Structure 1
Amino acid sequence: MIQAVTLDFWGTLVDDRVSGAPPRIAVLAAALAHVSRQQVAAAYARAWDRYQRAGAQGLGLSPEALLSLTLDELSEALRPPAFRAVLSAWEVAHVTDPPALLPGVPEVLRGLRRKGLLVALISDTGATPGTGLREYLREQGLHTLFDWLTFSGETGVTKRSPQAFRHTLAALGVRPGDAVHVGDTPATDIAGAQAAGLRAILTLELHDRRAADCRPDGMIHSIRDLPAALDSMSVRSATPK
């Protein structure tokens, strides 16, 4: 039987098409008065590429790492108080200007809980840390709808690593064969989940990332379609891996 549903955050529950980069670039440029905003923007883009490459290796880096990489690209440094001030602003960029929830998210989460399912979030956090996403969930009134929250910046691994899923299921006390993961990125949400023994559903609501080498156990066009997709899946547990 399906006992737990784990969900991706960006692109699955919230709109990820609004970038947090512009406010971060503005804050750092203000702290480095002798460096142009254009130079900071170019350095941030290069640092983000390095940050993403680390994530592709399964490493869950922190916002501190992204800031340090950006400063490295600029061959600059900040005094510790200034570093902490910039970092604090970076961490709340998506809280002070919050992304929109996708339609139906609160209702779907409440419906899963009414069915007696355990619900967890597994997020590759990027530049917004777990503390920022927890605050976002509180402000949206969703924090009580999750039994567990896993953030790559806190565990040190992204969803490319099966450990991200094993860590979450251990916290829930659920076997992999009794859990389903939902997300929008094949390399992490589908391949990563399946490598850990979960079934995986690909959501196409914001991004159609279907690929020949991606074989999800189900697909949905909206998070609102999730309850029906779960109902249609086999409820007999697979042999745990």
Structure 2
Amino acid sequence: MIKAITFDLWNTLFENISYSDIRLDMISDIIRKRDGNLSFDKINESYESNFFFMAHKEKLNNIHHIYTKSRFVNLLNDLNVKMSNIEIKDIVGKLECIMLSSPPPLKPNVKKTLELLNTHYKIGLISDTGITPGRILKQALEHHEILHIFDTLIFSDELGVYKPHYLPFQTALKNLAVSAEMSIHVGDLIDTDIVGAKNYNMRAIWVNDEPDIKFLKIKPDFIKKELIPSQSLKLFEI
């Protein structure tokens, strides 16, 4: 019997929206004011190297969270640009908050599904974060009036590791006071969401509109193309 449901965030609850171009333009403007000899292409090359989120295979080999400050400092070192700690802190804060100017929309049916499930199950969120930290993502959840639905929220920048490491799943279920065998995780990525949940003895739902499981070593228990409120309660009555 399922007593708790945990959700991934990006491309499961939130639409995938990129803020990379805005951040790149901001960084480029700041740096070129200091060193006009640095070309946009050179800055872009360093930005891509340090700020783009790791590929899944690389992430599996390096599960420790990479913080925005570290990414930005590495970029400055690449470009041989000097800044004070106060300046770095200010810029990093602005980079992390950019999403709030235009929060990502919810995927279809998400709010209704969560509100329905919340009346029957404990609800958790387990999210890897890139440049935008958990404290900002909480504000985005509040923007959509769904923050209160979650009984626990786990973010990689607050915990220090990415999925599929066991710690995000362990911490979420400990906070929910529910065993793995009575829990199910919902996410869109096989290598992080499904593998992490299954390795921790949870059940798993893969949200994917073009699923192909032929070559998967670890398979989800269920596959859904999208979250549909009318089907949700029946799906979790396991």
2:116 pairs, out of 97, 111, 135, with 111
Q: Which residue does 2:12 correspond to in 1? A: 12
68-77 or 183-192, which moves further after superposition?
A: 68-77
The answer on whether the counterparts of 1:220 and 1:229 sit within 8 Å (CA) in structure 2 is no
Q: Aligned pair in 2 of structure 1 residues 109, 15: CA closer, same or farther (>3 Å)? A: same
Q: How does 1:20-169 map to 2 (within 5 A)?
A: 20-33=19-32, 34=35, 35-48=38-51, 51-52=54-55, 55-56=59-60, 57-115=62-120, 117-169=121-173
Which residue in 1 is equivalent to 2:208?
204
Output one character per residue of 1:100-124: Cα deviation in whole Å (capped at 9) or x when no partner.
1111111011001122x01111000
Q: Tell me, what secondary structure is at the counterpart of 1:182?
A: strand
Could you give the per-residue CA deviations for residues 6-58 of structure 1, whole angstroms, max 9, x where no partner exists? 00000101111x31111111121122122333222211111135855763322
1:223 aligned partner: 227
Residues 91 and 219 of structure 1, relative CA distance in 2, 3 Å threshold: same
1:209 CA displacement: 6.5
Distance (whole Å) between structure 2 residues aligned to residue 215 and residue 132 of structure 1: 32
What is the aligned partner in structure 2 of residue 238 from structure 1?
none
* Whole-angstrom CA distance in 2 between matches of 1:229 and 1:31: 48
What are the ranges of 5 or more consecutive residues in structure 2 without an aligned counterpart? Answer: none
Q: Which secondary structure does the structure 2 equivalent of 1:136 belong to?
A: helix
Asked if the contact 1:54/1:61 (under 8 Å) is kept, the reply is: no
- CA deviations on 1:63-108 (whole Å, 9 max, x unpaired) are 2222223223323332222211211111112221211111111101
After TM superposition, where is structure 1 displaced by more than 3 Å over at least 4 residues in a row? Answer: 48-55, 207-211
Secondary structure, in 3 states, of the residue corresponding to 1:131? helix
Does the C-alpha gap of structure 1 residues 228 and 49 become closer, same or farther in structure 2, counting only changes over 3 Å? Answer: same
CA distance in 2, matches of 1:173, 1:221: 29
Instruction: Using the TM superposition, name which of 207-216 and 196-205 deviates more.
Output: 207-216
Q: Is the 8 A contact 2:117 2:232 kept in 1?
A: no
Over the aligned positions, Cα root-mean-square deviation in angstroms equals: 2.1
Contact 2:141–2:147, Cα closer than 8 Å, also in 1: yes
Distance 1:177 1:234 in 2: 14
% identical equivalent positions: 26
Any idea what SS the aligned residue of 1:32 has?
helix
Name stretches of at least 5 consecutive residues in structure 1 with no aligned partner.
Answer: 236-241
